[in-house]
Amino acid sequence: MPFPQATAPRDPPRLLEREAAAWLILVFTTALTLVLWDYSHTHRSVRALERFEYRSEKEISILRSRLQAYEQVLLGGAAFFNASEQVSRQEWHDYVEQLNLDATLPGIQGTGFALIVRARDKSAHEQAMRAAGFANYRIQPEGERDPYSSITYLEPFSDRNLRAFGYDMYSEPVRREAMDRARDSGTLALSGKVTLVQETDSDIQPGFLMYVPVYAKSVAVDDLASRRDHIFGYVYSPFRAHDLMRAIFGESNKDIEIELFDDSPAPANLLFASADANRAAAQERELTLVFGGRQWIARVRSSAEFDESANSDEPLLILIGGLALDTLLFAVILGSARHRRRMQAAAAQIAESRDRFQTLVENVPGTVFRTAPAPPWHALHVSRGIENLTGEPPERFLSGAVSCRAHLHPDDAPDVLGAITQAVTDHTTYNVEYRVRGADGVTRWASERGRASYDSSGTPLWIDGVILDVTDRKIAELAIRDLAFYDPLTGLPNRRLLMDRLQQQLSVSARSGLYGALLFADLDKFKTINDTLGHQIGDQLLTEVAHRLRATVREGDTVARLGGDEFVVMLEDLGRTRDEATALAANIATKILHSLARPYALKKQTVQCTPSIGLAAFRGHELSVDELIRRADEAMYRAKSEGRNRLHVFRGEDH
């Protein structure tokens, strides 16, 4: 931004040579200095508060994201049990080992499975476990109750985790409450504060657990009674609170100190406290995190480093400097040439202050700008940071060669310009995020915050603001979304995304009147391949099957993986009649049969694996999503019973 140059003062009018005028000017300029000092002090306090709120909310967001990641791990474990006829101890070990949780999600104490054991089955269960090689196995603690639970799988099966083997978590009230909540809701439940059985005599930490229920297979659990009657067990993870929170917050958190409480902020409920978290701080707030049906309270305080950085001598310097300039102006008006020379010195001082201010602005992260308050948004000032974002130097914006909004992505421009215009009209601050097309052709994400300044009549003069490059955060958000809706092994949509697309397609089909079809494919004897050649070969086979499915179907069709070796293909807009749609879908299914039946070359292994495919046609809302999948699944089992490696079309007589 081109700042005005300091110039020598003109000859003052004779009125200013009067002593009364000099005193009036001294009073006015002193009042102005006090206003500026108060504004600077208030502005720094507001900036410190905004920075503290942003950092505290960011840390809680990181904690929430990590808990959601652990939830996905447990949901995956529950899906593993639901997709398998029987999960062996070795299979569970291999499954957890492949997750590589120590590297990807540090802080987790273990991942295990607790079996529900009825009182009448307790003796048989203990004998079976002893026969399996655990001679000293017993459900603990002792006592008669019904039902029991027993930790039968827990990985890593070593060190502290060995203490939990056979432990009945259902016997302890806090754990039982969380297990009942998970069982009744069918969703993940977070327990209250407990002391884990893994704790030894040293370094005892508060703990908590996450539970995901697993129900008996082939049984509908649509209501509370059925879920209670058919609970099979729980996939769960125990957490040592101090280890987990240190892994989440780490050493990089220099601005805030955190105390984390379970349910309410009381000493007995304390889960974690960072160093000096209970010290007196300039900033303090409480945030609530609700996850897994449990409430956590985070009491956040600014750190000593944060408070020190927020304290500044700038307001005092403004006050002292302003009063000095006021005195100088007073002396200039009263004096003669000596005062005139002092005015020149003051002009030089102002120029130096301008240069320092410009240096300060250029060192602010992101881009600091000032523009006209209305289109074409002519730039009045823009810092050097704009070049990192757009590839264009600030001089081109100041000269008018490049518009301030020229690099906006066309899809984002209407919303951004509308938000800015509305904020100027309403005299409010705006916050917008949008994509920026750089001169190098690279698209980046930016976050812009700004506010207009107005004259005494309310007319907008300009807009001041700052633009930050938030590309990395956007990439992280997209990665988290992919984890929620896409299968991490094959990259295909998972069950959640498939159900959403099916529901949408039923609505589209209802409007268009066109039939679609659902293909349910299951790989023949995949378990044998997985058991004999190893899970790594099995995973490569599933990935290759996904590639072939995508290459065989039409561009607009959806290919999804339900889990294990089950794949679903949703075919859209096949025809006006059921027979026409079925014939076209059968033709596509035949191509899939031929494609998947070709040999697979996997790591010096040539594998032959054929599919069995079930086909069910649909139109509009004649069928629910669950019923449509059930019919396609039933047709697939008919194909298997008829000899495998074939297609079976669902007919009414198949019920």
List, for residues 169-200, the tens digit of each pLDDT value: 999 999 999 999 999 999 999 999 999 988 87
List, for residues 561-597, the tens digit of each pLDDT value: 988 899 999 999 999 999 999 999 999 999 999 999 9
- pLDDT tops 50 at residue 2: no
Q: Are the C-beta atoms of residues 188 and 292 closer than 8 Å to each other?
A: yes
Joined together, the tokens standing for residue 125 give: 């269960």
pLDDT band at 441 (very low <50, low <70, confident <90, very high): confident
The residue-averaged pLDDT of 199-224 equals 89
* Full strand arrangement of the beta sheet holding 367-371: 379-382, 367-371, 460-469, 443-454, 430-437
Q: Which pLDDT belongs to residue 409? A: 83
3-state secondary structure (DSSP) of residue 154: strand
- Most confident stretch, 240-254, 468-482, 505-519: 505-519
Q: Are the C-beta atoms of residues 589 and 576 closer than 8 Å to each other?
A: no
- pLDDT tops 60 at residue 1: no
Vertex 610, ends 604 and 616: CA angle to 5°?
145
Distance, in Å, from the CA atom of 437 to the CA atom of 558, rounded to the nearest integer, reads 31
Closest to 609 (Cα-Cα) out of 557, 567, 581, 553: 567
3-state secondary structure (DSSP) of residue 159: helix
pLDDT band at 4 (very low <50, low <70, confident <90, very high): very low
- pLDDT tops 80 at residue 461: yes
- Most confident stretch, 41-55, 276-290, 558-572: 558-572
Distance, in Å, from the CA atom of 106 to the CA atom of 93, rounded to the nearest integer, reads 18
- pLDDT tops 60 at residue 511: yes
3-state secondary structure (DSSP) of residue 319: helix
Number of other CB atoms surrounding residue 429 within 10 Å: 11
Number of other CB atoms surrounding residue 333 within 10 Å: 21
pLDDT band at 228 (very low <50, low <70, confident <90, very high): very high
Tell me the DSSP string of 113-168: EEEEE-GGGHHHHHHHHHHTT-TT---BS-S--SSEEEEEEEES-SGGGGGGTTB-
Non-local (6+) Cβ contacts of 17 within 8 A are 333
Whose tokens are 């008919």? That residue is 638
Q: How many residues does the chain have?
A: 655
Number of other CB atoms surrounding residue 79 within 10 Å: 18
pLDDT band at 6 (very low <50, low <70, confident <90, very high): very low
In the beta sheet, which residues pair with residue 521?
A: 567, 613
Closest to 491 (Cα-Cα) out of 569, 570, 555, 544: 544
Closest to 554 (Cα-Cα) out of 523, 589, 522, 521: 589
Q: Which pLDDT belongs to residue 626? A: 92
538: part of which helix (H) or strand (E)? helix 535-552
Lowest mean pLDDT of 207-216, 222-231, 323-332, name the range.
323-332
Non-local (6+) Cβ contacts of 610 within 8 A are 523, 524, 593, 596, 597, 644, 645
- pLDDT tops 60 at residue 138: yes
Percent of the chain with pLDDT over 90: 40
List, for residues 40-50, the tens digit of each pLDDT value: 778 878 888 88
pLDDT band at 523 (very low <50, low <70, confident <90, very high): very high
What does the radius of gyration of the chain's CA atoms come to, in whole angstroms?
Answer: 34
Q: Which pLDDT belongs to residue 27? A: 85
* Structural domains present in the chain: 11-83+313-363 (no CATH), 84-246 (3.30.450.350), 366-485 (3.30.450.20), 487-654 (3.30.70.270)
Number of other CB atoms surrounding residue 142 within 10 Å: 8
The residue-averaged pLDDT of 378-390 equals 80
Q: Which pLDDT belongs to residue 7? A: 46
3-state secondary structure (DSSP) of residue 63: helix
Q: What is the DSSP letter of 269?
A: G
What is the residue-averaged pLDDT of the chain? 85
3-state secondary structure (DSSP) of residue 416: helix
Q: Which pLDDT belongs to residue 83? A: 87
pLDDT band at 22 (very low <50, low <70, confident <90, very high): confident
Distance, in Å, from the CA atom of 200 to the CA atom of 240, rounded to the nearest integer, reads 12
- pLDDT tops 90 at residue 17: no
Lowest mean pLDDT of 65-69, 518-522, 552-556, 638-642, name the range.
552-556
Joined together, the tokens standing for residue 655 give: 């019920």
Query: Which three-class secondary structure string do you get for 571-637?
Result: EEEEECCHHHHHHHHHHHHHHHHHHHHCCEEECCEEECCCEEEEEEEECCCCCCHHHHHHHHHHHHH
Query: Which three-class secondary structure string do you get for 440-482?
Result: CCCEEEEEEEEEEEECCCCCEEEEEEEEEECHHHHHHHHHHHH
Give the phi and the psi of residue 324 in degrees, each rounded to 5.
-65, -45
Non-local (6+) Cβ contacts of 187 within 8 A are 212, 292, 293
The residue-averaged pLDDT of 605-621 equals 91
In the beta sheet, which residues pair with residue 214?
A: 233
Q: What is the pTM of this model?
A: 0.47
- pLDDT tops 80 at residue 336: no
pLDDT band at 556 (very low <50, low <70, confident <90, very high): confident
- pLDDT tops 70 at residue 60: yes
Number of other CB atoms surrounding residue 180 within 10 Å: 16
- pLDDT tops 70 at residue 482: no
pLDDT band at 296 (very low <50, low <70, confident <90, very high): very high
- pLDDT tops 70 at residue 281: yes
Whose tokens are 């999600």? That residue is 105
- pLDDT tops 80 at residue 414: yes
Distance, in Å, from the CA atom of 494 to the CA atom of 374, rounded to the nearest integer, reads 46
Q: Prior bond to 315 cis, omega within 30? A: no
Identify the burial level of 191 via C-beta atoms within 10 angstroms of its C-beta, where 0-12 means exposed, 13-18 middle and 19 or more buried. Answer: buried
Q: Cα dist. 572→321, 372, 507, 589 in Å?
A: 74, 51, 12, 14
Residue type, 201: D
- pLDDT tops 70 at residue 277: no
Q: Which pLDDT belongs to residue 479? A: 64
Q: Which pLDDT belongs to residue 28? A: 84
3-state secondary structure (DSSP) of residue 189: strand
Residue type, 387: E
Helix 19-83 vs helix 89-99: angle between axes, to the nearest 10 degrees?
A: 160
Non-local (6+) Cβ contacts of 202 within 8 A are none
- pLDDT tops 50 at residue 8: no
Closest to 114 (Cα-Cα) out of 250, 249, 212: 212
pLDDT band at 24 (very low <50, low <70, confident <90, very high): confident
pLDDT band at 107 (very low <50, low <70, confident <90, very high): confident
The residue-averaged pLDDT of 522-542 equals 89
List, for residues 70-79, the tens digit of each pLDDT value: 999 999 999 9
Joined together, the tokens standing for residue 492 give: 């295909």
Joined together, the tokens standing for residue 30 give: 């002193």
The Cβ-side half-sphere exposure at 447, using a 13 Å CA radius, reads 9
